[in-house]
Chains A and B, each alone.
Chain A
């Protein structure tokens, strides 16, 4: 097989439930061994996409292709996929061992092979010696790992993970996330992870596909999504960002666009950002800024937007100020943790030199 050819392909998957279009022509390609995260808010269609992949639903249009074979019409059992369910769906009446062995027995393997494979899988997820336990006797994190071992045991072609960490408490989640990522990489299996948590998607996924209202908004490496969002949705859903509305004033070299923003005190400022989307001079545009691309300046300086601090948020290493501007926009700014800024202080906000550029999007009429 050609190394460049995709291993798993979603070709224009379309699905509607009644009147609701839950997935609109989703196309994605994964290289063999790649880990892709499907990221989106609830109702974005990511779970439906996963269920179409697994074979629990059939698409109205489109195809699923694995290693050149189309599997769109195959039953779940015939696809050779593995899946970790949101609530794990471990069989409560079986031991850990029996759960992991279940898929191997379905494939009619002999007992010795099964035993060897189950032991290897339990070792992989660091649960060697837990085989005889009942699944109700182990912790949530351990159950999650059993679910992973069970899914991997029959050596599936593709691994599907449905919000696999959402059931864990935050303290456990980060560690389990790391273990999950290591285990999946060690096996080298092509993996699709569905999650609504950006951190999870960025940590586990080598590439991330952002879904919104059934449509693919953007797919790329986490760094690309963060620095170069292609839509306003991606810019605000991935990472923290605030929007400033204004009018597109002019275009500049290097693909930059200048937006004229009212200060709210009679004047206006012109801030520049990278062009994203169909922009036209004189039309409304929105400049989206990450907190670290902004800084607080002396009140009333030229080229700044005046306002008042409404909240200071300290997170440990960093601190943020939420500023209500005179033009009524609310905007989040990264500040020094030691800066003596407090709610009620009059301030001005300006672009931080050398930081990540702003992004400029057209404002849709809505």
Chain B
């Protein structure tokens, strides 16, 4: 006998969704709103609603200049990244030559450098006293270094180097998905190579190109490490915010943050609009065959070109490794370090004060990742269960921290959690061990949430229904059916979130305390006191960890 089914009370039905929504609003929406309110003089210690801070912003030329620089540098970064990434994507996807697979996998390694680590690697390689400039100086017997790595050119160089990977990966994937019959159809219809490229191939790469542009633009807009290290007095919005905070002009900083957040969201909306709906191929065809070159000389030339590109892209990694092996105080004027040893690494692990940041980073990244996975999983499940506008709203909250520059979010969290008003959900967490893991969690939420959402969307809902029909309760169906199938997505999200948290610099520099200082802060400190070997050694550790995660992730993607 089965009892008649009773529709469950509304609270039980919407309860979990409400709980998740509340948590997301508290961690993501609330701090941003509080910053906005305080920038408007509401709720803070100030005298009530005022537009004075905004008026001040509007009246100052240096603010507009910083905003303009942020925008044009982001746009130029997109162009530069496309210019590097697209040809590489075509080379590795459409041509065939010995070593294509291996070299094609190595090309993406610039992503394995966390932002600050990439920046210092560039400094050691291309900076005034870096390898490259020393080499040229010595070769040409110049009195001074041939160039100085600073200002917008330096920022753009770093951006182009680290962000071309977006274009490379997106365009390669799109090229692989292209229906080979489409190219043949164009050929039968009399189109030459150029016409086929411009009329058939390029339009189909549009979603990929816009996707990569969006990622590059948003990343550049929020980029902090490169402008912080290279720009000197050349301020962009992120460094402007940081400078205002450092000079104790917190009101100004909040207005700057609001402006940058609004600009970022606007950019997001505009680029998304341009993207439009994907033009999906009618039939699922077979990817076009790679262009075969029979002449051995041409094949060798392709391999050589690809290898040269990869070698060039891996120079920063090599530089970092070499400097990490140069003991302190033995290397002054020589072109290459006179001796190599593991002394820097030994110090890292034997001196408690040097080990501390590593342990800090490890536990904070672990805690943040666990939180981001749990919250991401709960939010993704509820978003899909609710569907419609409510579901989309949850998804939007999960994705929001991605669109907001890290500096802005750090400031917002600092604003929200520096006041003791528990009944308003505000606690004094700034200056404690809670704030950095929390900040990392929020920053990683889009990464885990996105991966889990994608994983859940691929699951056949009939599987859970099948489990239910076989008598499994919700918990059992989730544990035995959903979780195992979700594992690849979970692992991917987890890995990426972990290395993002581990290498974070932009939120750390705003919110760290001496006892909770993470690796990136220690790198910056080492740099300031000229302990390059130690900085490089930290960098190498981060780089190796990141590369490992990417490699595991890449394998998961292929499977």
Contacts and interface: CB of A to CB of B under 8 A. Distances in A.
A76 B189 CA distance: 8
Contacts of A86: 181, 283
Interface in A48-95: 54-56, 75-77, 79, 81-83, 85-94
Contacts of A79: 188
B191 A93 contact: no
A186 B96 CA distance: 44
Contacts of A135: 282
Contacts of B195: 106
B184 interface: yes
Given A102-B191, A136-B279, A136-B280, A91 B200 contact: yes
B338 interface: no
A107 interface: yes
Nearest to B185: A89
A207 to B, nearest CB: 24
Nearest to B187: A76
Interface in B371-412: none
B179 A77 contact: no
Contacts of B189: 77, 82, 102-103, 106, 150-151, 154
Interface string A158-177: 00000000010000000000
B204 A92 contact: yes
B185 A77 contact: no
A169 to B, nearest CB: 14
Contacts of A88: 181, 282-283
A91 B200 CA distance: 7
B188 A77 contact: yes
Contact of B181 (A89, A103, A134): A89
B87 interface: no
Interface string B161-205: 000000000000000000101101111111110010001100110
A91 B182 contact: yes
B292 to A, nearest CB: 12
A143 B282 contact: yes
A56 B182 CA distance: 13
Interface string B276-304: 00011111110000000000000000000
B181 A87 contact: yes
Contacts of A56: 184, 187
Nearest to A134: B279
Contacts of A55: 187
Contacts of B182: 89, 91
A107 B283 contact: no
A93 B283 contact: no
B279 A92 contact: yes
A77 B200 contact: no
A88 B184 CA distance: 11
Contacts of A82: 188-189
Contacts of A92: 204, 279-282
Interface string B35-74: 0000000000000000000000000000000000000000
Interface string B307-336: 000000000000000000000000000000
Nearest to A56: B184
Pick from B185, B188, B281 the residue with the most CB of A within 10 Å: B188
Given A85-B181, A86-B181, A93 B186 contact: no
Interface string B249-290: 000000000000000000000000000000111111100000
A87 B203 contact: no
Contact of A89 (B184, B191, B199, B203): B184
A76 B184 contact: yes
B184 A54 contact: yes
Interface in A230-268: none
Contacts of A106: 189-192, 195
Chain A interface size, under 10 / 10 to 19 / 20 to 34 / 35 or more: 20 to 34
B188 A75 contact: no
Given A91-B200, A106-B195, A83 B283 contact: no
A143 B190 CA distance: 21
A83 B187 CA distance: 10
Contacts of B281: 87, 90, 92
B206 interface: yes
Given A77-B187, A92-B204, A93-B206, A87 B280 contact: no
Nearest to A84: B185
Nearest to B207: A93
Contacts of A136: 279-280, 282
Contacts of A143: 282
Pick from B182, B187, B199, B284 the residue with the most CB of A within 10 Å: B187
Pick from A54, A55, A136, A150 the residue with the most CB of B within 10 Å: A136
Interface in A7-57: 54-56
A85 B282 contact: no
A107 B181 contact: no
Pick from B185, B192, B279 the residue with the most CB of A within 10 Å: B185
B290 to A, nearest CB: 14
B285 A87 contact: yes
Contacts of B284: 87
B185 A85 contact: yes
A102 B199 contact: yes
A87 to B, nearest CB: 2
Pick from B184, B190, B204 the residue with the most CB of A within 10 Å: B190
A208 B195 CA distance: 37
Contacts of A90: 185, 281-283
Contacts of B181: 85-89
Pick from A54, A56, A89, A92 the residue with the most CB of B within 10 Å: A89
A83 B185 CA distance: 7
B198 to A, nearest CB: 12
A41 B200 CA distance: 33
A277 B233 CA distance: 93
Contact of A102 (B186, B204, B206, B282): B186
B283 A167 contact: yes
Nearest to A87: B283
Contacts of A107: 190
A106 B185 CA distance: 12
A93 B188 contact: no
A56 B282 CA distance: 22
Interface of A: 54-56, 75-77, 79, 81-83, 85-94, 102-103, 106-107, 134-136, 143, 150-151, 154, 167
5 contacts: A79-B188, A81-B188, A91-B185, A102-B191, A151-B188
Given A75-B187, A89-B179, A90-B185, 15 more contacts: A54-B188, A76-B184, A76-B187, A77-B188, A77-B190, A85-B185, A89-B181, A89-B182, A91-B204, A93-B204, A102-B189, A103-B189, A106-B195, A136-B282, A167-B283
